[in-house]
């Protein structure tokens, strides 16, 4: 077996290697002045089962496009040099949120990305908490493995809630299934009845609307769950709605801490911390180092 972690994902790759009691295999990456790049393994991959870890969240001067292109080229390079099987380990899969047409002539980028992986000879893809599980499975013809974090979150939720009753809350109707699965895992973990709620969210031309609020959150510890936090606006909207309805404490839970607008996310936390508690979890290391310095953020590794 060979295990590589590309530039920008070395920290998570090293943690995963330690958890598996193996070493990361060496590789070379070079960036050229004209913007082109190349990467190659520095050990033989012929006849090997090769795993390549790389997250596709844009950060550190590398866009999602840059990261995707480098990963695809490296996978193809391994296949070109005789790898028996190539597996892409992609904690955050870019472009997965556009999995269907919502307007005339919209792209379906989830499927296009899947076709790119398959064209490079990828035998298997492993990812973590995608936006739409069914769309992810349907997009890929190669073997696809989806990992979720609900069993990892469940014990920590119980500790943070203390003696308060718990409500698992989805900030939009699209995340209801994700929240329900976490609720079931938490009930199995604690043996207690867990509350559930969600609110309506419609987005058109960057305008968010929807007034429906379902669930009882009064005097409860509320855990708002989503697969990612980008600007923090969705979480903030849901948290303020829960606070208005009497939630005792409010915690935001996300697997992927993209934090595309760090000041907005921090502002959201301050607005809520003044009146309650807001904790944002990211289950793999966020590309934004500032999050590790914020007292309202708990980071945990996905390794």
Which range in 44-53, 158-167, 185-194, 291-300 is most confidently predicted, on average pLDDT? 44-53
Q: Are 179 and 168 in contact, with CB atoms under 8 Å apart?
A: yes
Same domain, 178 and 133: no
Spatial neighbors of 55 by CB under 8 A, at least 6 apart, are 8, 9, 12, 67, 90, 91, 92, 284, 287
CATH of the domain at 220: 3.40.50.2020
Residues above pLDDT 90, as percent of the chain: 49
Same domain, 138 and 184: no
Spatial neighbors of 128 by CB under 8 A, at least 6 apart, are 91, 92, 146, 147, 148, 149, 255, 256, 283, 284, 302
- Give residue 162's domain range: 150-299
Give residue 261's pLDDT: 62
Question: Residue 48 catalytic?
Answer: no
Give residue 31's pLDDT: 92
Q: Which residue has the higher pLDDT, 301 or 172?
A: 172
SS3 of 24, please?
Answer: coil
**Least trusted range by pLDDT, from 196-200, 244-248, 289-293:** 289-293
Same domain, 93 and 231: no
Tell me how far the alpha carbon of residue 146 is from its chain's centroid. Answer: 11
**pLDDT, mean of residues 63-82:** 96
> Could you say which of 147, 168, 198 is where a domain stops?
147
**Least trusted range by pLDDT, from 14-23, 160-169, 291-300:** 291-300
Same domain, 134 and 180: no
If one counts the domains in the chain, the total is: 2
**pLDDT, mean of residues 293-300:** 54
Whole-model pTM: value is 0.81
Q: Is the pLDDT of residue 64 over 60?
A: yes
Give residue 270's pLDDT: 55
Same domain, 66 and 117: yes
Q: Is the pLDDT of residue 290 over 50?
A: no
Same domain, 32 and 142: yes
The overall average pLDDT reported for the chain is 84
> Could you say which of 120, 147, 174 is where a domain stops?
147
Same domain, 15 and 61: yes
Tell me the per-residue pLDDT of 229-272, one tens digit each, with 9 for 90 and over.
877 788 888 888 999 999 999 988 888 877 766 555 555 555 55
Same domain, 157 and 97: no
Give residue 212's pLDDT: 87
Catalytic residue among 70, 79, 201, 288, which? 201
Same domain, 163 and 78: no
Spatial distance between the Cα atoms of 226 and 130, rounded to a whole number of angstroms:
10
Same domain, 109 and 198: no
**pLDDT, mean of residues 34-61:** 92
Q: Which residue has the higher pLDDT, 284 or 198?
A: 198
Q: What is the DSSP letter of 115?
A: H
Looking only at the bridges linking them, the beta strands covering 249-257 and 221-229 are parallel
Same domain, 278 and 211: yes
Same domain, 293 and 166: yes
> Could you say which of 124, 147, 170 is where a domain stops?
147
């Amino acid at each position: 077996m060979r295990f590589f972690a590309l530039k920008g994902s070395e920290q998570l790759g090293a943690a995963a290697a330690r958890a598996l009691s193996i070493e990361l295999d060496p590789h070379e990456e070079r960036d050229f002045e004209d913007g082109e790049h190349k990467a190659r393994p520095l050990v033989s991959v012929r006849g090997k089962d090769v795993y390549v870890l790389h997250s596709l969240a844009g950060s550190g001067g590398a866009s999602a496009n840059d990261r995707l292109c480098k990963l695809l080229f490296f996978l193809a390079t391994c296949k070109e040099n005789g790898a028996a099987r190539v597996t892409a380990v992609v904690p955050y899969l870019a472009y997965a949120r556009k999995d269907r047409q919502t307007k005339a002539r919209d792209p379906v980028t989830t499927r296009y990305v899947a076709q790119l992986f398959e064209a490079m000879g990828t035998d298997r893809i492993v990812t973590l908490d995608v936006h739409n599980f069914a769309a992810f499975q349907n997009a890929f013809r190669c073997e696809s493995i989806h990992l979720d974090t609900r069993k990892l979150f469940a014990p920590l939720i119980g500790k943070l809630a203390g003696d308060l009753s718990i409500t698992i809350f989805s900030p939009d109707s699209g995340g209801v299934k994700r929240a329900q699965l976490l609720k079931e895992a938490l009930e199995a973990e604690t043996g207690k009845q867990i509350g559930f709620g969600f609110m309506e969210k419609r987005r058109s031309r960057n305008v968010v609307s929807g007034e429906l609020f379902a669930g009882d959150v009064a005097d409860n510890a509320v855990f708002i769950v989503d697969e990612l936090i980008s600007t923090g606006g969705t979480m903030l909207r849901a948290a303020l709605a829960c606070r208005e309805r009497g939630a005792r404490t409010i915690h935001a839970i996300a697997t992927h801490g993209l934090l595309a607008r760090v000041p907005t996310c921090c502002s959201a936390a301050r607005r809520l911390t003044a009146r309650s508690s807001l904790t944002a979890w990211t289950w793999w290391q966020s590309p934004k180092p500032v999050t590790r310095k914020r007292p309202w953020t708990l980071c945990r590794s996905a390794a």
